[in-house]
């Protein structure tokens, strides 16, 4: 019978450990073969890699699998000497971490981390799955929020209005993408940022319009490619809102 392992089949590919991890695939593949009863949160790897901009590596000296955003760790699976998951470590606001440590005996001060912010969770303990998902999402947001807004947009791969500029037909040739050029796109008035960028990034200092309760606002409705039909424009608005929902740190 095939036993499930902590690492999902989906992410377990030859690219799992890039050269930067020292190429220690053999050890990890052996773990996969062995199966893993010490981790009840089988969804964790796929869940974290599903978040925008997340990368992972193996910190060989510590034997930690690190999940990072912009090169900064926000979660880790700490492996023991037997290469079994030993702790799941994540970052929280100090008061929340302290409260949770009192509520759950399986949540303890961060293992080999700054104990004010970091917390470690036993991977075979009783912390409910939904709570752990929520805490991991909070940790991701906490680390992401420490970057400047422009960098956050770059990491999330989304412009203020929910476009992924790298998928735009103009990208590269006529336009570097609004995040790169502070919203001064070729279709905006000469030398000025487009109205959505002006409102969202310059006036409100949001990461993107997903942080605004008014989305899609009148400015969105007026910022329109004139060649688009009504139905195409409506679909474009919905697509951008869906995109923002998927990546926005605070949700639409
Ligand atoms: S025109 Fe420029 S800013 Fe607008 S979506 Fe395309 S690449 Fe992004
Ligand atoms: S009002 Fe809100 S949704 Fe509209 S452009 Fe400004 S920040 Fe974006």
Dump pLDDT digits (tens) for 7-16. 433 333 333 3
Does residue 6 form part of some domain?
Answer: no
For residue 74, the CA-to-ligand 2 centroid distance in Å is 29
Distance CA 106, CA 115 (A): 15
Same domain flag for 186 and 105: no
Q: Which of these ranges, 19-28, 80-89, 133-142, 179-188, has the smallest mean pLDDT?
A: 19-28
Note the pLDDT of residue 249: 59
Same domain flag for 30 and 138: yes
Helix (H) or strand (E) holding 91: strand 85-91
Say if CB 134 and CB 123 are below 8 A apart. Answer: no
Residue 23 has pLDDT above 80, yes or no: no
Ligand nearest to the CA of 214: 2
Q: Which of these ranges, 25-29, 170-174, 199-203, 221-225, has the smallest mean pLDDT?
A: 25-29
CATH number at residue 134: 3.90.1150.30
Q: Domain ends where: 114, 145, 176?
A: 145
Does residue 28 form part of some domain?
Answer: yes
Does residue 127 form part of some domain?
Answer: yes
Within 8 A by CB and 6+ apart from 35, the residues are: 3, 4, 5
Does residue 128 form part of some domain?
Answer: yes
Note the pLDDT of residue 33: 53
Residue 20 has pLDDT above 70, yes or no: no
Q: Is the CB of 196 under 6 A from ligand 2?
A: yes
Alpha carbon nearest to ligand 2 atom 2, residue:
212
Note the pLDDT of residue 6: 42
Does residue 3 form part of some domain?
Answer: no
Q: Domain ends where: 115, 145, 175?
A: 145
For residue 198, the CA-to-ligand 1 centroid distance in Å is 15
Note the pLDDT of residue 38: 73
pLDDT tens by residue, 41-97: 999 999 999 999 999 999 999 999 999 999 999 999 999 988 889 999 999 999 999
Strands, sheet with 107-109, edge to edge from the N-terminal-most edge strand: 54-59, 64-69, 72-79, 85-91, 118-121, 107-109
Same domain flag for 135 and 45: yes
Does residue 103 form part of some domain?
Answer: yes
Q: Domain ends where: 145, 174, 191?
A: 145
Helix (H, G, I), strand (E, B) or coil at 219: helix
Same domain flag for 158 and 199: yes
pLDDT tens by residue, 172-222: 888 899 999 999 998 888 999 999 999 999 999 999 999 999 999 999 999
Same domain flag for 207 and 226: yes
Does residue 12 form part of some domain?
Answer: no
Q: Is the CB of 159 under 6 A from ligand 1?
A: yes
* Residue 183 in tokens: 């919203």
Note the pLDDT of residue 173: 83
Same domain flag for 165 and 216: yes
Same domain flag for 111 and 129: yes
pLDDT confidence tier of residue 133, bands split at 50, 70 and 90: very high
Same domain flag for 222 and 126: no
Does residue 36 form part of some domain?
Answer: yes
Alpha carbon nearest to ligand 2 atom 3, residue:
215
Note the pLDDT of residue 82: 85
Note the pLDDT of residue 36: 54
Ligand nearest to the CA of 185: 1
Say if CB 45 and CB 7 are below 8 A apart. Answer: yes
Same domain flag for 102 and 188: no
Torsion angle, alpha carbons of 220, 222, 224, 226, to 10: 170
Alpha helix stretches (DSSP H) within 67-128: 94-103
Domain extent for 26: 19-145
Domains: count for the chain: 2
* Residue 120 in tokens: 């470690």
């Amino acid at each position: 019978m095939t036993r499930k392992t902590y690492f999902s089949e989906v992410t377990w590919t030859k690219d799992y450990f890039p050269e930067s991890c020292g190429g220690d695939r053999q050890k990890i593949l052996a773990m996969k073969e062995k199966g893993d009863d010490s981790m009840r949160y089988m969804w964790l790897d796929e869940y974290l890699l599903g978040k925008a901009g997340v990368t992972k590596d193996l910190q060989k000296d510590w034997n930690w699998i690190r999940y990072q955003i912009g090169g900064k760790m926000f979660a880790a699976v700490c492996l023991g000497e037997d290469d079994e998951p030993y702790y799941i470590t994540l970052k929280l606001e100090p008061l929340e971490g302290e409260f949770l440590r009192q509520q759950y005996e399986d949540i303890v001060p961060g293992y080999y981390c700054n104990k004010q912010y970091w917390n470690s969770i036993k991977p075979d303990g009783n912390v409910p799955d939904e709570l752990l998902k929520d805490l991991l999402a909070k940790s991701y947001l906490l680390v992401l929020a420490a970057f400047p807004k422009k960098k956050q947009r770059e990491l999330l791969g989304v412009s203020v209005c929910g476009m992924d500029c790298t998928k735009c037909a103009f990208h590269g040739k006529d336009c570097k993408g609004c995040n790169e050029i502070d919203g001064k796109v070729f279709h905006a008035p000469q030398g000025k940022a487009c109205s959505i960028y002006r409102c969202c990034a310059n006036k409100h200092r949001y990461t993107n319009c997903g942080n605004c309760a008014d989305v899609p606002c009148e400015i969105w409705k007026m910022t329109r490619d004139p060649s688009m039909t009504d139905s195409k424009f409506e679909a474009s608005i919905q697509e951008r809102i869906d995109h923002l929902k998927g990546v926005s740190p605070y949700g639409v």
